[in-house]
Structure 1
């Protein structure tokens, strides 16, 4: 607000303490014989702009504004000439349900950003999109039907119809929220053109050796019957597993230990696992080479156990017995040891070193099942262990697990049976429940298993360094999110991109029985040659629709003359939806710069779309697809809970806008929803509910009140012909232009930093401190009671028009409906002109004048001393004498009041006193009831070149003048006559 006063830590709110707006000028509510005579001579505010707009009237007005002002806005700005483009690439929402407040948070944030960039003159590139493939859509589309009896094409058709319905509902909601776009030109991941662009990305990555097929463990969802990527997992921290301690008898001691301790017999390795069902698949027991290990004897049964030395104390407490150390050695001395498998007769497994062994839990000896663990598989690769999968696609034991286990679900009855088998053979030492974080399928909310499968993978290990280097050049908000991105990239050694469902883009690489060259075939599908238009025209359905002869490359068809085409079969793998959406830059950004200026998505996309977009772009183009990332939190209930229908705390955006059956949910309209988004701290969880919405509505109501005051006092004012040059304005008016310029800079900076919350805070501070509490209270007398065409009044109106224009432009990205509504009533532009086609805030450097700020803020410091001397009293009833020794501060005050005493000077107006006397020293003959006060003001001009700490003294005495019946200032000679100013105004009018 006022820089110098902030430096002096003077409270701005005290400026008008005790001075009601009703006491500063004539008001329409005033009654009485004398005042009533002159009421028609006072220029009171007049405007048709309503103070309140609620219910159906509010909804009708918003829809009318959208129809007239928003419909062609995106197309208009795309056609205009602009020096710069701003590209916000839309992360596609999933087309599997109705619009919710999470959608509102995301889409409105994007729209605020886009509207700001458009207003500031940039050509916005924003194409809304939808993620249309994937299992959730397939499951919802099929409902209770399942896939029984349905062909892949029938499944795909039902899924497409379901997705199209969801898209239509979501699109209608986004438009109702005021989101600016060409809604007839969106992108959909099931479009053939999109799919062809995606397949081209795949082909280029394959040609660089970044995509390969392999048989190794992946996350598998039995409930979805498909492979999952890391991004499709959500971890349940409350998952309960049946953890066990089990023994693997040593049948051959490690050579180094056997040579030293020949008396060691019947030693068993003690292992711990939270997944007992994987014991039948065990191929080794791993140890940490650098750790200390001990053979200990149980005091209760003399059993000898081998475990890590630092875990012995915990194990003793767990087993409820003392463990006596027999021998201790380093892990490297375990090399060469062989154990007997506890449940499979005649099977032996080796002791092997491994770096993934930790001492945080368990025994320091790790059961290793290469088919069912990522680290286990690494050990198997290093030591050439077999990788045999004992679990089928339904999450049940297969025939390799043996007749006792076959067909049992591994996570339920299968676990029961394995524990029973361990108990029967004497290998079970302890069972306990273990609460820990476990991966779940984010769609079905069911636990996943790790099992090997022949899948297609991206070698992210070879991309990580380039991706991390590219990320260092990306601006990430909040900064902490960049760390999370880097951590997730580090954890990701490969990316499984194949799935085993029907509703997805077809994975054409897995096509053959005979050796069809993958790249040759792929070029024909996705390049600009023979079969280019297949996917573009028919989309990936053509994979099932067309005969094989149409799909095979010409060279393969030539070769097939020697053998039947039936030797070739269609592959059944489909592409992961994260690859599907992650390649969107290739399909959508071709019209703009090759990199988007911004991606704006929720924090769940740190491991999802942000990462898949980055990896595919780095792989193909060696650069990130984005310059900035804005990562926002999730919408939650007012209690901070995740929204859930079962909890009854779901807030529906449609109900927010149009109202609900419950009286506590009135029709708020779209702008309240948008204000809630803008005002929230988007970098944390964003709470929504009646309290937040009512607060937003109240804030907008206060804003409307201010805008109504501005509009009302601009009645009849034409800024094109009646505006006053800033150099001729009153200093207080010039000062407000200076403040408006500072406000516009702050607002512009906040929008540029994607911080709409700061925009609102700056707006509210400007309105409450600079305008309502300060400027408005000072100027009412001049506005209402000066001659209509006087320089002082026109000077004030010029400022009010600039303030109105600046405020509505600054709120337009957040409250577009209100901004356009105000613009309809605002002076200075042609009827039918829209705000969004007329640019950003227009502030001028000439509004900043040397000395102006110091003059007004020096007067404000004196004003604060004056008001603090008469707490709770009306300043208009007092005469104020200001005494300042000759110097810079005195000269500044003289610029506001040239004569020694005045009731109408700019200084008197600013002080809101009856009369102001400006002198070099206080008079000696002050009345006994005079109130004395003093203070200092630091003058700082020309960047500190001129600095002067100036003292002042004030004397406050009740005025002897009478109250003017017209303006109600204490400037009249007697109670029954007007003050000289009002006499002149009334006489001129008649």
Structure 2
């Protein structure tokens, strides 16, 4: 905005979803509410949270179109979302299917991959169990092997009752081995036999070896279900890394298992209900037991009783949990709506190639997340969300959904909001003309669906609801790295499906805030740093009110692409940095009191050389700081600012000009010259801190000279840096003088430069001419050279005088002049003699330039008499 760009930022809120629904229900502590009552409570809860968050964002100085925010529960938004849904459905990307999905018993709903959290410390009761071979595979039957059992391993014993097959790897080697302790014959993968022997603490003797493909046609007996036969089948997902190389396959409870079932037409019957308990299909012994706990115990007991259990052990492994309740999930099949992401993957990857990703390292994660996702389950069994606009036939259960039905419902949502899905009679949702166009039977044949859309579909459709039609790609999406599998991905998939392009030109992917010890913050641990407390202070005296700019500085100074630590140390350091900056700004404002640049500014050509030189340094600073912001590197902008203030301003320019500012006549050219520069410095520094410290910058702008009342800094442009400020020879003159000054100061360590007369001898040549431009007369107490050296008097000559007193301090050096891009190069030598001055200290300016201690120096006499 400071650079004159039109920036249109529309903030938005995802308002649906389970956390809000559970919060609303939790506050009521009631069950048995209808969908509309749940929705009303959830909406009230969401509205309260949005109001609090919005006022916090405004207090932090976030610039946005606060009157035109978007909310996913808004009818207009929901209508745009249904349009995306309809277009994806008509292109065949959305379909209904009965297949295994991640299911959370603790919240009774299907979950998408993005809603899982993997717990690496999960402990399962893993088992090795036997499936007796009832029909030997024809490929090995001739070997005369009797009563062989197939040995399988699983970390989910509760899925054994749902077993439909045992899978092998066709091109691997398998052996029938004989246990030394019991003579039992077991079939295992040859490369697993050593680890199985160690596990069973017995020797295994190989009785015959085959390739996997020779196992085809073998049939096992199910260990716990009498008369149930289980085939041996080939599968590519079998691994040898753990277990026995033979995989227990329960198509209802595993993604790989399900693909085997699709190929071989196995049953995918579900014997687990929505609460994660066995149904009557599992048999009377197991019915109503929770599969992850008592159900697992019971299945293991049943396997022991029938003599199939070979070994049980604890297995610590990574297991998916519901990210909201932190409870384990199960895989179970149910009828859900899916997006076929496999068919969109390649297009999505192609679209990502044209997107700028900051940091670039996040691109790999985006691509691998896309790869891992073959389908996306978008239906949820909840009330608080956008209803899936589908009707089901009462008799056949066939879904009715097409362009005509969805367009009509989208129009209703736009006018009335999505509550009307529950409020209106089905006749209004499905009027006759829509039924006619859909070639469907009478409305009485249909019931409305009860599922809502996954919130990732809600937020993923934001491009369609928020962006202008004319250029419907956002310049940038900004979010945390947890959205690599969430919003960034769902937005990309929906946009690519509908329009063959990404919804964004750039992505900024940031890390998370962690405590000063590096711990992740979580509400449950109570270690969250509350931004409101940082700004306004807390009841505890250890929580002072830092204000919003300290919070912003902490962000700007951090590497936001990694984990960022926050706590008292970081905040105190940010506050100290801002206080140093405030002191510089106070000095500038104080010395610009009564100066109006519109009337009193001095033309750069008439300025003192050091002032012109300072403008040259200011220009270099503004180029560096602009570059840093262009690269989104606020941390570098801060470092450039701090370096400029410490080196160029505080220790150099400010210390040199104080005498001229405080003691020269108020309206003199010398004083107005440096005020002109101070005003340019103030303006440049204020603009360069404005993106990080908007409140401080605007406050400074209110007090700064040179602009009308009521103007805001943020509409007045970026740093002005004029190329007029560059003068050939100027840098060489000042830098040559600075080299001489450094030699002089190192010859009087710990002493006050103001108490010396300085003799500078330079051989005739370029350097002498440059020094003459800073001091016209051979000897002066008030020349620009004397000011730069901060001494009582400078004598400029071509050779040092012979009659130097014995206490003179001598030093010498050389300075390389390099002009016109190296066309003129001259290495010039100089000598210095510093002699304690005989002049007295002037009571007004405190420089050693007075004839006696009780009278003013000539400059102060003249200034005071003018003032009278």
Q: TM-score, normalised by structure 1?
A: 0.83
Counterparts of 1:684 and 1:897 in 2: how far apart (Å)? 54
Question: Among residues 464, 473, 478, which one is paired with 1:600 in the alignment?
Answer: 478
Question: Among residues 64, 68, 85, which one is paired with 1:202 in the alignment?
Answer: 85
Question: Among residues 47, 61, 67, which one is paired with 1:178 in the alignment?
Answer: 61
Displacement after TM superposition at 1:226 (Å) = 0.8
Displacement after TM superposition at 1:306 (Å) = 3.2
Counterparts of 1:328 and 1:934 in 2: how far apart (Å)? 93
Displacement after TM superposition at 1:758 (Å) = 2.1
Displacement after TM superposition at 1:925 (Å) = 5.4
Question: Among residues 304, 321, 324, which one is paired with 1:440 in the alignment?
Answer: 321
Contact 1:875 1:912 in 2 (8 A): yes
Q: Which moved more, 1:225-234 or 1:639-648?
A: 639-648
Counterparts of 1:263 and 1:952 in 2: how far apart (Å)? 107
Displacement after TM superposition at 1:613 (Å) = 0.8
Contact 2:813 2:829 in 1 (8 A): yes
Question: Among residues 607, 610, 631, which one is paired with 2:509 in the alignment?
Answer: 631
Contact 1:126 1:181 in 2 (8 A): yes
Question: Among residues 118, 122, 125, which one is paired with 2:8 in the alignment?
Answer: 125
Q: Which moved more, 1:409-418 or 1:374-383?
A: 374-383
Distance 1:293 1:937, change over 3 A: farther
Counterparts of 1:728 and 1:309 in 2: how far apart (Å)? 93
| Secondary structure of residue in 1 paired with 2:7 | strand
* Aligned Cα root-mean-square deviation (Å): 2.5
Cross-structure match for 1:27: none
Counterparts of 2:193 and 2:857 in 1: how far apart (Å)? 98
Q: Which moved more, 1:501-510 or 1:866-875?
A: 866-875
Contact 2:278 2:295 in 1 (8 A): yes
Question: Among residues 331, 351, 359, which one is paired with 1:478 in the alignment?
Answer: 359
Matches within 5 A, 1:253-402: 253-259=136-142, 262-402=143-283
Number of aligned residues: 866
Displacement after TM superposition at 1:517 (Å) = 5.1
Matches within 5 A, 1:605-624: 605-624=483-502
| Secondary structure of residue in 1 paired with 2:291 | coil
Counterparts of 2:80 and 2:490 in 1: how far apart (Å)? 15
Is 1:454 equivalent to 2:332 in the alignment? no
Distance 1:726 1:309, change over 3 A: farther
Contact 1:125 1:592 in 2 (8 A): no
Is 1:565 equivalent to 2:443 in the alignment? yes
Distance 1:426 1:838, change over 3 A: same
Q: Which moved more, 1:289-298 or 1:212-221?
A: 289-298
Distance 1:264 1:590, change over 3 A: same
Displacement after TM superposition at 1:145 (Å) = 4.9
Distance 1:455 1:903, change over 3 A: same
Displacement after TM superposition at 1:624 (Å) = 0.9
Is 1:813 equivalent to 2:694 in the alignment? no
Question: Among residues 278, 291, 311, which one is paired with 1:430 in the alignment?
Answer: 311
Question: Among residues 765, 775, 778, which one is paired with 1:897 in the alignment?
Answer: 775
Distance 1:314 1:904, change over 3 A: farther
Counterparts of 2:211 and 2:754 in 1: how far apart (Å)? 91
Counterparts of 1:748 and 1:560 in 2: how far apart (Å)? 59
| Secondary structure of residue in 2 paired with 1:190 | coil
| Secondary structure of residue in 1 paired with 2:332 | strand
Distance 1:133 1:247, change over 3 A: same
Is 1:841 equivalent to 2:722 in the alignment? no
Q: Unmatched 5+ residue regions in structure 2?
A: none
Cross-structure match for 1:83: none
| Secondary structure of residue in 1 paired with 2:292 | coil
CA deviations on 1:714-758 (whole Å, 9 max, x unpaired) are 011010011111122222212222222222222222223222222
Cross-structure match for 1:508: 389
Counterparts of 1:328 and 1:887 in 2: how far apart (Å)? 98
CA deviations on 1:376-416 (whole Å, 9 max, x unpaired) are 22222223222221211111112222222111111111111
| Secondary structure of residue in 2 paired with 1:590 | coil
Is 1:192 equivalent to 2:75 in the alignment? yes
| Secondary structure of residue in 2 paired with 1:661 | coil
Counterparts of 2:284 and 2:863 in 1: how far apart (Å)? 108
Is 1:791 equivalent to 2:674 in the alignment? no
Is 1:588 equivalent to 2:471 in the alignment? no
| Secondary structure of residue in 2 paired with 1:412 | helix
Question: Among residues 345, 356, 369, which one is paired with 1:464 in the alignment?
Answer: 345
Cross-structure match for 2:745: 867
Contact 1:237 1:436 in 2 (8 A): yes
CA deviations on 1:406-432 (whole Å, 9 max, x unpaired) are 111111111111111222222222222
Contact 1:521 1:553 in 2 (8 A): no
| Secondary structure of residue in 2 paired with 1:417 | helix
Distance 1:359 1:860, change over 3 A: farther
Displacement after TM superposition at 1:899 (Å) = 4.0
Cross-structure match for 1:522: 405
Contact 1:177 1:670 in 2 (8 A): yes
Matches within 5 A, 1:917-956: 917-920=795-798, 922=800, 926-943=804-821, 951-956=829-834
Q: Which moved more, 1:393-402 or 1:304-313?
A: 304-313
Counterparts of 2:754 and 2:250 in 1: how far apart (Å)? 88
Displacement after TM superposition at 1:585 (Å) = 0.8
Contact 1:285 1:367 in 2 (8 A): yes
Displacement after TM superposition at 1:780 (Å) = 0.7
Cross-structure match for 2:549: 671
CA deviations on 1:549-602 (whole Å, 9 max, x unpaired) are 111143454599996532110111110100011101111112663111111111
Counterparts of 1:894 and 1:278 in 2: how far apart (Å)? 95
Cross-structure match for 1:641: 519
Distance 1:199 1:923, change over 3 A: same
Distance 1:909 1:212, change over 3 A: same
Is 1:823 equivalent to 2:701 in the alignment? yes
Displacement after TM superposition at 1:630 (Å) = 1.0
Matches within 5 A, 1:536-555: 536-555=414-433
Cross-structure match for 1:804: 682
Cross-structure match for 2:113: 230
Cross-structure match for 1:78: none
| Secondary structure of residue in 1 paired with 2:402 | helix
CA deviations on 1:590-638 (whole Å, 9 max, x unpaired) are 2663111111111111111111111111111111111111111112222
Counterparts of 2:5 and 2:823 in 1: how far apart (Å)? 40
| Secondary structure of residue in 1 paired with 2:387 | coil
Cross-structure match for 2:592: 714
Is 1:984 equivalent to 2:862 in the alignment? yes
Counterparts of 1:853 and 1:328 in 2: how far apart (Å)? 87
Displacement after TM superposition at 1:888 (Å) = 4.5
Displacement after TM superposition at 1:350 (Å) = 2.9
Counterparts of 2:240 and 2:74 in 1: how far apart (Å)? 51
Matches within 5 A, 1:696-775: 696-775=574-653
Contact 1:524 1:553 in 2 (8 A): no
Is 1:221 equivalent to 2:104 in the alignment? yes
Displacement after TM superposition at 1:519 (Å) = 1.5
Contact 1:929 1:957 in 2 (8 A): yes
Counterparts of 2:565 and 2:347 in 1: how far apart (Å)? 38
Counterparts of 1:287 and 1:349 in 2: how far apart (Å)? 13
Contact 1:731 1:906 in 2 (8 A): yes
Displacement after TM superposition at 1:788 (Å) = 1.3
Distance 1:948 1:582, change over 3 A: farther
Contact 1:510 1:572 in 2 (8 A): no
Query: Which of the pair has the greater relative contact order for Cα pairs under 8 Å at 6+ separation?
Result: 1
Is 1:140 equivalent to 2:23 in the alignment? yes
CA deviations on 1:688-718 (whole Å, 9 max, x unpaired) are 2222222222222111111110000001101
Contact 1:510 1:573 in 2 (8 A): no
Counterparts of 1:302 and 1:887 in 2: how far apart (Å)? 107
Is 1:251 equivalent to 2:121 in the alignment? no
Displacement after TM superposition at 1:765 (Å) = 1.6
